[in-house]
Structure 1
Amino acid sequence: MKIFISADIEGCAAITSWDEVHKGHTEYQEFREQMTSEVIAACEGARAAGATDILIKDAHESGCNLIVSRLPDYARIVRAWSGHPYVMMFGLDRSFDAALFIGYHDAAGSDTNPLAHTMNDRIARLSINGELSSELTVNAYTAAMNSVPPVFLSGDRGICAAAERLVPGMKTIAVSEGFGRATVSIAPTRAVRMIRDGVEEALTRDLSRCALTLPEWFEIVIEFNNASDAYRSSFYPGVEHPKACTLRFVSNDYFEVLRAIRYITV
């Protein structure tokens, strides 16, 4: 069994402030270690379920956050950014049996994580076919485009609920919940144990129950915080600029959607 893991940090246990997720801040090291522990737990759960090949995409900020010396010897890792439109899912292809999402967070425009955002802090809201969408939405559709079922997610309570709506069969583990600028989190050690057990459970079930069908067409609406950012990106081919801070892109080809998001949001 071949497994793909996309790992972020803002949805890891106990994380509450931006200083905890940015390199250069003293708090970062502790939560870099927690991100690593949660990814290792996912690897262990996958291994217990029979995985023989695990590819991890370090998908936060620099793409170089996980403490690689701690990773199990049966895993491979993608670090930094290639520039490919798959972004947080780079390395995924049709040879994988399942996709896992670790440390994920709710979308920009939501209130269940004080660090909620989509792609970057310049974006106020991203919607797909009229629905508020997160990085998980974009990445789960990338998995679906490759016929890979998204079977497990850990993160804040909001993104877990969104994941279950998107993929009703997905196993989720909520490790925290946001209230304004505060969070209520389970103990990091408990989160690690629950992720390990949850991944094993998810991968020993019928994976086809998590198959996600792509919509026949996509309307992407991106609302920027600043009108100048929208203007700058409005020259991407096929993009409409209906309002000062808003861009719209429509396609029935999801790879074209990914390419547009990749270049519009930089």
Structure 2
Amino acid sequence: MRIYISADMEGVTGLVDADDVQPGGRDYERGRLMMAEDVNAAIRGALAAGATDITVNDAHGPMRNLLPEALHPAARLIRGKPKQMLMLEGLTSEHDAVLCVGYHSRAGELGVLSHSFMGHEIEDIWLDGRPVGEIGLAHATAAAIGVPVAALTGDDRACVEMTDWDASVTTVAVKHARDRFTADLRPADEARAAIEQAVAASLAALPKAPAIDPAPAPATLTVRWQSASVASTLLGIPGVTSVDARTVQAEGALPSLYRLFGVWMRVAASLTNQAPYC
């Protein structure tokens, strides 16, 4: 069984603030070790379910957060950027399941460190008219590749967002949001035991042949930016159209549309230089 882990950081056990998850933050070094422990719990759960091949993609920010020496030796690590497939770099149809570890709720939700990809620079995203964030877009893209998401860990709001998107996905709440930078924390040992157990159970329950049709289907991705300058510049990319002064959209099939979105973000990053959590 081949397992793919997409590891974000905002939804990791114990982390609540930008200083926990951004390089240079006063608690970032502790945060990256906490991230490794949550990922390692998921790896142990996958091994217990019979996984023979495990790939971990460091999917947060600079994508150099996980220390290779802190990662369980049974897994391979994809580290660094740029990545054409962003949070799903390295995922192929040969994988049997995706595990989303340390995920967070989308922009506008009152979850811990909630945002969509670029802090406040992206205000809203819609996929076929449905509000979406990193959770829904990762799920939809993985489905287009032909791989089911088996489990997700994060705060309670991230878990609700995943359940609303696909109720069959097992979720583990490692903390409960009180506000965007405040949470009731689950004890670390308890949270990691829950991750390990939930991952093992979710993978053991996977159908032998996932009921996912990987045939590409047309989709529409719409993004509202904080800056009209970003939206205007993106109109220079073929296929991108304007909805209003700050909103653009494009049509295509996932996962190609997901790769295109990555290009949009690189353009936006070249035009802006704002800290994400403000």
Please say if residues 124 and 131 of structure 2, whose CA atoms lie closer than 8 Å, have aligned partners that are also in contact.
yes
**Residue 213 of structure 1: CA displacement?**
5.7
Structure 1 residues 63 and 39: CA distance shift in structure 2, 3 A? same
Further displaced range: 182-191 or 205-214: 205-214
Please say if residues 217 and 254 of structure 2, whose CA atoms lie closer than 8 Å, have aligned partners that are also in contact.
no
3-state SS of 2:255 partner: helix
| Matching residue of 1:25 | 25
**Residue 211 of structure 1: CA displacement?**
4.5
Amino acid aligned to 1:118:
S
Correspondence list, 1:128-143, <5 A: 128-143=127-142
| Cα distance in 1 between the residues matched to 2:87 and 2:262 | 11
**Residue 35 of structure 1: CA displacement?**
0.4
| Cα distance in 1 between the residues matched to 2:212 and 2:184 | 31
3-state SS of 1:265 partner: helix
| Cα distance in 1 between the residues matched to 2:20 and 2:247 | 31
| Matching residue of 1:107 | 106
Further displaced range: 101-110 or 224-233: 224-233
| Cα distance in 2 between the residues matched to 1:33 and 1:206 | 30
Structure 1 residues 116 and 208: CA distance shift in structure 2, 3 A? farther
**Residue 165 of structure 1: CA displacement?**
2.2
Please say if residues 224 and 247 of structure 2, whose CA atoms lie closer than 8 Å, have aligned partners that are also in contact.
yes
Please say if residues 57 and 87 of structure 2, whose CA atoms lie closer than 8 Å, have aligned partners that are also in contact.
yes
Say whether residues 1:73 and 2:73 are aligned partners: yes
What's the CA shift string for 1:40-59, capped at 9, x where partnerless?
00000000110011000011
| Matching residue of 1:237 | 238
TM norm structure 2: 0.89
| Cα distance in 1 between the residues matched to 2:209 and 2:169 | 8
Please say if residues 152 and 162 of structure 2, whose CA atoms lie closer than 8 Å, have aligned partners that are also in contact.
yes
Correspondence list, 1:1-266, <5 A: 1-84=1-84, 86-113=85-112, 115-121=113-119, 122-180=121-179, 181-207=181-207, 211=211, 216-251=217-252, 253-266=253-266
**Residue 64 of structure 1: CA displacement?**
1.1
| Cα distance in 1 between the residues matched to 2:211 and 2:246 | 35
| Cα distance in 2 between the residues matched to 1:264 and 1:53 | 32
3-state SS of 1:25 partner: coil
Please say if residues 18 and 25 of structure 2, whose CA atoms lie closer than 8 Å, have aligned partners that are also in contact.
no
| Cα distance in 2 between the residues matched to 1:168 and 1:9 | 23
**Residue 256 of structure 1: CA displacement?**
3.0
Please say if residues 155 and 175 of structure 2, whose CA atoms lie closer than 8 Å, have aligned partners that are also in contact.
yes
| Cα distance in 1 between the residues matched to 2:138 and 2:57 | 12
| Cα distance in 2 between the residues matched to 1:2 and 1:16 | 32
Give the gaps of 5 or more residues in structure 1. Answer: none
Please say if residues 14 and 34 of structure 2, whose CA atoms lie closer than 8 Å, have aligned partners that are also in contact.
no
**Residue 210 of structure 1: CA displacement?**
6.9
3-state SS of 2:56 partner: strand
Amino acid aligned to 1:103:
G
Structure 1 residues 211 and 183: CA distance shift in structure 2, 3 A? farther
| Cα distance in 1 between the residues matched to 2:172 and 2:208 | 20
| Cα distance in 1 between the residues matched to 2:212 and 2:92 | 15
TM norm structure 1: 0.93
What's the CA shift string for 1:181-215, capped at 9, x where partnerless?
32222122211111011101111113469745678
Please say if residues 36 and 66 of structure 1, whose CA atoms lie closer than 8 Å, have aligned partners that are also in contact.
yes
| Cα distance in 1 between the residues matched to 2:164 and 2:193 | 25
Amino acid aligned to 1:158:
R
Amino acid aligned to 1:243:
D
3-state SS of 1:263 partner: helix
CA RMSD of aligned residues (A): 1.8
